[in-house]
Structure 1
Amino acid sequence: MRWWLTGLAVLLLWVAYGISPYVALYQLSRAVQAHDTAAVAQRVNFRTLRLSLTKQALAAAVDAIAARRDLSARERTILTEASGALAEPLVESLVTPETLIDLLDDGWPVRAGLTRDGGAGEAASGTPDTSQGSDTPRGRNGLGFHASTVGQLLALFRSAEPRGFRGMVVSYPPDRPLENRFRLRLRLRGWTWRVVDLELPGSLRERISQRLTGAMQR
């Protein structure tokens, strides 16, 4: 009987572990929809997220410049290091609970001053600008992070990729082409799954690169 109870306890713990990241996704989605900054802050590692977004912003800007000029590997390194100071204010504006809610809610960080201007925003993503008087409600343009229903959770489950025992990557929206998806990475620390990385889709990286390259050329 003792061994049977031990086996049952282990099985229950394993099941609880297996569903725990999806419970975390559901809780994060509910916090985003409620615009609960405190709840979002508890589920995000802002230090690692800031580092990730800084790397993405710098890479996008350097790639944009390299597309117009032939840069050597050394020149790319120098340009990346020199543009770090310019990228920092933009990344800081992205990595706040309020802006992250904005980004997760409808897929675009309007609070950070990145409007869909038809160049790298509206035209590239093929979605209307919900920040400029569009009739499309916030969070309903198909680009946001939604996991508050069983159907949405199952869709995320199908897109999930395990990363070892304590990590998982989820791409969304699952019905979009890969280049138009966000990739959200969760990591288990203690008893809490937290967002540690957010890989941006191509249209948003392009808009950020435009913002940075414009600052570099002033």
Structure 2
Amino acid sequence: MTRWWLSGLAVLLMWIAYGISPYVALYRLSLAVQAHDAAAVAERVNFRTLRLSLTKQALAAAVDAIAARRDLSARDRAILTEASGALAEPLVESLVTPETLIDLLDDGWPVRAGLARQGESGPEVTGAARDAGKGTDHLGLHAASPAQLFALFRTAEPRGFRGMVVSYPPDRSIENRFRLRLRLRGWTWRVIDLELPTALRERISQRLTGAMQR
């Protein structure tokens, strides 16, 4: 009887450890970002999958922006997306480095990648982007306190047994949130995807559409 009880307790503890493990990973990632520890951040990010994700988002945003001004068929969109891939690559490469990712996760805006903050001078920054960019210092991933972790817990969406998505900041509207996807590989949770908020995708698309139209 005691053996069964101990086995059940062990299983319960394992489930509890698994349940809190992604939040421990978020906590450690947040600390690494605050400390500007590029090596620690690199250990917790799958840069290959993140690069693919950001490339798709950048291209989709740029093609949507062009399609809004032109009548593009599905075939035209496919051709434009394929042709603009080479233009998107340098910008995405500048975003997907440990240093720039720290910049992005810290306050929600990748200044190191050469993107002006929302609301700063520049005719290409729309009023909607300026409004979404107010208080950009609160747009980062903050998970270093129990209250912040609990706020992320409330936004968590399981993705199978080894995946989870959290959106932040939890007090912003959906279109102004980041959606960060974690995946468990071995014993480590890593960031594999980061869906950008509308304002940042818009800013990136402006950079790309400008390059496409030259």
Q: Kindly indicate whether residue 188 of structure 2 is the aligned counterpart of residue 192 of structure 1.
A: yes
Q: Kindly indicate whether residue 155 of structure 2 is the aligned counterpart of residue 159 of structure 1.
A: yes
Q: CA deviation at 1:124?
A: 4.3
* Aligned positions, number: 207
In structure 1, what residue type is equivalent to 2:212?
A: M
CA displacement 1:154-181 (0-9 Å, x = unmatched): 0000010111110000000000000000
Mapped to 1, the partners of 2:191 and 2:174 lie a distance apart of 20
Mapped to 2, the partners of 1:117 and 1:217 lie a distance apart of 23
Mapped to 1, the partners of 2:54 and 2:131 lie a distance apart of 20
Partner of 2:130: 123
Matches within 5 A, 1:22-171: 22-116=23-117, 118=119, 119-120=125-126, 123-127=130-134, 141-171=137-167
CA displacement 1:127-180 (0-9 Å, x = unmatched): 16xxxxxxxxxxx72111100011100000001011111000000000000000
When normalised by structure 1's length, the TM-score is 0.92
Mapped to 1, the partners of 2:36 and 2:130 lie a distance apart of 28
Contact 1:124 1:203 survives alignment (8 Å): no
Q: Kindly indicate whether residue 189 of structure 2 is the aligned counterpart of residue 205 of structure 1.
A: no
The equivalent position to 2:169 in structure 1, one of 166, 173, 176, is 173
Q: Name stretches of at least 5 consecutive residues in structure 1 with no aligned partner.
A: 129-139
CA displacement 1:61-100 (0-9 Å, x = unmatched): 0000000001000000000000000000000000000000
Q: CA deviation at 1:126?
A: 3.6
Partner of 1:182: 178
CA displacement 1:36-68 (0-9 Å, x = unmatched): 000000000000000000000000000000000
Q: Which runs of 4+ in 1 moved over 6 A?
A: none
Q: Which deviates further from its counterpart, 92-101 or 140-149? A: 140-149
Q: CA deviation at 1:122?
A: 5.7
When normalised by structure 2's length, the TM-score is 0.94
Contact 1:58 1:83 survives alignment (8 Å): yes
Identical counterparts, % of pairs: 83
Q: Name stretches of at least 5 consecutive residues in structure 2 with no aligned partner.
A: 120-124
Aligned to 1:65, the other structure's residue is in SS state helix
- Change in Cα spacing, 1:55 to 1:124, as seen in structure 2 (3 Å) is farther
Partner of 1:134: none
Contact 1:116 1:122 survives alignment (8 Å): no
Aligned to 1:68, the other structure's residue is in SS state coil
